[in-house]
Structure 1
Amino acid sequence: MESYSNCAHCGHDLKGRTDKRFCNDTCRNTYNRIQRQQRHIPFPEQAKEIIQAIKRNYQIIASKDKSGGNIYISSKLEDYLAKGFEPKYFTSIHMENNDEQWYCIFDWYFYIAGNMIHIKNFIGQFQIK
């Protein structure tokens, strides 16, 4: 076991047990907080913009649903793009049986074919595992 003669945070002389590392709780807490901050991976600045884009896409798609149930919509892609929809931002990908790649924004799925966007809502199928 290592023997410390000075506080690991402030450097003051230690009195008491031979295995003591800090002179008081404040030094211990401050030292450990600094250690955690140095190990912490910072949240990328662009991630906030991506999250906002995903939220905006969700709101644009969800605004088309007036029924509150499972729906299927086919519309012109340009109508969605004009409202600020950005197809490159989504939460996951779902493959259909016929190898169609549907992009998911939580419980909403969209598929782009030419200048059309096809949208499905799977109420109750979105679950966090």
Structure 2
Amino acid sequence: MKENTDQRLCAECERPLFGRTDKKFCSDACRNAYNNRVNADATNFVRNVNNALRKNRRILLELNVGDHASVHRDQLLRAGFDFDYHTNTRETKSGEMFYYCYDQGYQVLEDGHVLLLVKPED
């Protein structure tokens, strides 16, 4: 009996594949395992950035008791705020820079204080 050298194998577990000619995996479990393994580094990076953004937003939300408030930069740092992570910025015509974590914003003032505000509706 002649061996079939054209046998396609699962990209994850290398078991023989049956069925469609474009099939790459023998099961959903193998497909998921393969994609999780291949995308692990990117997924972890994105997860860490999203966690930092959510944490920053939560801290701003907790400290901004009204529509705007002023706190010292050290208070944000003690709460775990990371100034390197924000979702967007806005520069005014006068050159003032505002940073946002989704809808919660802040402006770093020269005296070590930070003005907290809610992003205005567009």
After TM superposition, the score normalised by the length of structure 1 is 0.61
Partner of 1:102: 98
Superposed, which structure 2 residues align to 1:103-118 within 5 Å? 103-114=99-110, 115-118=112-115
* Correspondence for 1:30 among 10, 25, 40: 25
Structure 2: state its 5+ residue gaps.
Answer: 11-16
Aligned partner of 1:87: which letter?
A: F
Give the count of matched residue pairs: 105
Query: 1: distance between equivalents of 2:114 and 2:69?
Result: 8
RMSD: 3.3
Aligned partner of 1:96: which letter?
A: T
Displacement of 1:48? 2.3
Partner of 2:13: none
Aligned partner of 2:118: which letter?
A: N
Kindly indicate whether the alpha-carbon contact (under 8 Å) linking 1:9 and 1:28 is maintained by their aligned counterparts in 2: no
Q: From the CA coordinates, give the structure whose radius of gyration is larger.
A: 1
Bigger shift: 40-49 or 80-89?
A: 40-49
* Correspondence for 2:116 among 98, 102, 119: 119
Kindly indicate whether the alpha-carbon contact (under 8 Å) linking 1:9 and 1:27 is maintained by their aligned counterparts in 2: no
Superposed, which structure 2 residues align to 1:13-28 within 5 Å? 23-25=18-20, 28=23
After TM superposition, the score normalised by the length of structure 2 is 0.64
